[in-house]
Structure 1
Amino acid sequence: MGPPDEADSAGRPLIIPLFIPHLGCPHRCIFCNQQAITGKSTRMPSVARIQTEVNRFLKYGKKRPSTTQISFFGGSFLGLEKGSVLSLLEAAMPFVRANAVDSIRFSTRPDTVYQKTLSLLEPFPVSTVELGVQSMNNRVLDAVERGHRASDTVKAAGLIKGRGYQLGLQMMVGLPADDDAGAMETAHQMAVLQPDFVRIYPTLVLNGSPLAGRFRGGGYQPMALDACISLVKRLYLYFKARHIPVVRMGLQASDGLTRAGEYIAGPFHPAFGHLVHGEIVFDAISSTLYRMEKQPDPLIITAHPTMVSRVQGLNKKNICRWQSTFDLKKIILHQDGDMEKNHLMVANHHVALP
């Protein structure tokens, strides 16, 4: 797996992912095949492996990031045995002492968070705890055999914030027994918990997961990609309106997911987040064009250079749709480095993106 996007520019955090697939999980959810998602084995990473991975990431970036964190993802960190939790944290400590890494973060299930398990973290520079919420609907949690209640998430979030840790919440869309309204309700209940950030993942059918058998038997139909993008767009805008950052939409195109036979069905795209942002821009510019008495042709759109790809859409999809919908012969994109990134000029109309 390549270095994360965060390493590509100065001033942005570098997160070094260390995967502990399925370890510490007392239940196996029907959608889960962590080995397929991460491309890693289910063995506990050794101290030597941790050192190798961390050093590899630290050597990659040419520019100094704002912060650097070692992150334990994939399993349920606080569900591990006490000795394993301490061993992993201690393996990360030399990098913190050497000032090569600022802090540690991890993901865990809501039903592994107690005062006792959080107390294990006190001697260590842990800054961020992410909860695998998936849904705040107990009927959906039962359908996916999640093994915890929505109330566990509420309690866990309170304990984490009470200890002063940054709180991240992860949700999934397209789960069995769920729908768009249910996903929006989950987002509402998550927002009430005042997380510092959220992640939104689509439900995929992975080889070796219990959901794969249900899919092959006709008992589960995954979301179509366009429908999933539309829903995640609504969720993104919902959280943004409440000043809650969405730090990821969609799964990374890891070696596991791109390996033949691992991914079976569902709304996977390696540029999922880009597609969502492209739709947000499309909606904003379309709304402006509809309000014009007459659209100028050629239509000139001015944007910050970093926004051009979102304006165009993947494979210039947005350009083609505007030309077709508004009968435009030509659209010209101008770049202006002085413009704010979330602001556009459409002809002589200012557009502020949501």
Structure 2
Amino acid sequence: MNQINYNLVDEIYKKGMLYAPFGEYMRLKYRFKVFKIPFNGNFTCPNYDGRMSKDGCIFCPDFARQFTYESFRPYKDLSIAGQIESQLKHYKSCESDKGLVYVAFGTNTYQRIEFLKKIYDEILENKEVIGLSIGTRPDCLPDEVLDLLGDYVKKGYEVWLEIGQQSMHEHTLEKTNRKHGVAECIRVVREAHKRGIYVLFFIMLGLPYETKEETIETARMLSALEIDAVKIYPTVVMKGTKLAGEYLKGTYRPLSEIEYINLTTDFLENLDRNILIQRLSKDCGLETKLAPEWDSYRARITPKIEKELKRRNTLQGAKLKLSLTVDELVPLI
């Protein structure tokens, strides 16, 4: 079951908001502003290091982490404590009271359990940190890792898993070389929720081989799964990827800006109203991408999506009709 406090979500909608922003929910929950603090633990990915593949996903360049590290340059050579302290100072200047540390840049549960515990423990030693938000894959969360994270929940920390699912359709996952299926994500949601861990999915709109109807069906499936939050963003053609090759050959066309705005609005209409929205687009510098040509920065696109919601006189979940529960969904996967 979704672990979000529905009463707090109701407060968001009573304010006239047309979807449930993660930031607003956290402010209501804690009564102060919570910032996500990025942390680089130098993790790798099984889809690059040869355990599953050396090719990676078709939309992710093998130098993707280098791009991220460039923006992280002031902090990447610091110790764990040094990274957290430096980031907290920055966010304190932005009137943030506490931090939720986002363990990003790679598959951040893909290591020995002793290594993970050492890193997570050191992060949580800082009294200004309320918990962890860990970026990972659905196939890199064995029970021992979930048990470790569940122990932090028992100690009063807020723990999130940010899972790069991207789509809920097997054929899309296979053709984009994700090297996992839908069954893994269903297991993770169930097992994480048993331990009090929140689950967020990354979902890409405009993926090759996926229709508009299938994208909307992904929203309905996420609703049936009762995940806690989602990050929605357009498929961006990054330099050095297999998708870039398809784009240059003319066999893949990314969504136009208006197509993305309309499809995101459709997606929101078919997503349960209690699933928090952490992102509605993707920040990506021009030096790292080939397409789309339009500016996908969140600060510019989010107001346009909100405007489309208003134009349609609609809101998140307005068109959601679930015919399957998650228990009925599982045998079909």
For normalisation by structure 2, the TM-score amounts to 0.72
Change (3 A) 1:49 1:282: farther
User: Displacement, 1:42?
Assistant: 11
Q: Which residue of 2 aligns with 1:265?
A: 291
The root-mean-square deviation of aligned C-alpha atoms, in Å, is 3.0
Q: Which residue of 2 aligns with 1:172?
A: 204
Q: 1:17 aligns with which of 31, 35, 38?
A: 38
Q: Which residue of 2 aligns with 1:276?
A: 305
Change (3 A) 1:153 1:206: same
Q: Which residue of 2 aligns with 1:303?
A: none
- Structure number with greater CO (CA < 8 Å, separation at least 6) is 2
Query: 1:1-354 alignment to 2 at 5 Å?
Result: 11-19=32-40, 23-26=44-47, 27=53, 28-33=56-61, 34-35=64-65, 38-40=68-70, 48-60=78-90, 61-62=92-93, 65=96, 67-95=98-126, 99-124=127-152, 125=157, 127-239=159-271, 241-252=272-283, 257-258=284-285, 260=287, 262-266=288-292, 268-270=295-297, 271-284=300-313
Change (3 A) 1:20 1:147: farther
SS at match of 2:203: strand
What is the rounded CA distance, in whole Å, between the counterparts of 1:54 and 1:14 in structure 2?
12
What is the rounded CA distance, in whole Å, between the counterparts of 1:265 and 1:50 in structure 2?
35
The code of the aligned residue for 1:150 comes to V
User: Displacement, 1:272?
Assistant: 2.0
| Equivalent residues of 2:59, 2:243 under 8 A apart | yes
What is the rounded CA distance, in whole Å, between the counterparts of 1:233 and 1:20 in structure 2?
35
Query: Any gaps of 5 or more consecutive residues in structure 1?
Result: 288-341, 343-354
SS at match of 1:102: strand
What is the rounded CA distance, in whole Å, between the counterparts of 1:94 and 1:247 in structure 2?
26
Deviation track 1:276-306 (CA, whole Å, cap 9, x = no partner) reads 112222333xx9xxxxxxxxxxxxxxxxxxx
What is the rounded CA distance, in whole Å, between the counterparts of 2:242 and 2:197 in structure 1?
34
User: Displacement, 1:137?
Assistant: 0.4
The code of the aligned residue for 1:54 comes to I
Q: Which residue of 2 aligns with 1:333?
A: none
User: Displacement, 1:274?
Assistant: 2.1
Moved more, 55-64 or 151-160: 55-64
What is the rounded CA distance, in whole Å, between the counterparts of 1:32 and 1:246 in structure 2?
23
Query: Any gaps of 5 or more consecutive residues in structure 2?
Result: 1-21, 48-52, 316-333
Change (3 A) 1:20 1:141: farther
The code of the aligned residue for 1:118 comes to L
SS at match of 1:79: coil
Deviation track 1:247-297 (CA, whole Å, cap 9, x = no partner) reads 211112xxxx3252x11002642122222112222333xx9xxxxxxxxxx
| Equivalent residues of 2:40, 2:76 under 8 A apart | no
Deviation track 1:175-220 (CA, whole Å, cap 9, x = no partner) reads 1111211111111111111111111111100012221112112221
Deviation track 1:96-141 (CA, whole Å, cap 9, x = no partner) reads xxx2111112021111122122233355446111221111100000
Deviation track 1:59-117 (CA, whole Å, cap 9, x = no partner) reads 2334764642111123211223435423421331321xxx2111112021111122122
What is the rounded CA distance, in whole Å, between the counterparts of 2:66 and 2:77 in structure 1?
23
| Equivalent residues of 2:149, 2:197 under 8 A apart | no
Q: Which residue of 1 aligns with 2:4?
A: none
Change (3 A) 1:123 1:151: closer
User: Radius of gyration: which is bigger?
Assistant: 1
What is the rounded CA distance, in whole Å, between the counterparts of 2:257 and 2:115 in structure 1?
39
| Residues matched between the structures, number | 271
> Share of identical aligned residues, percent?
22
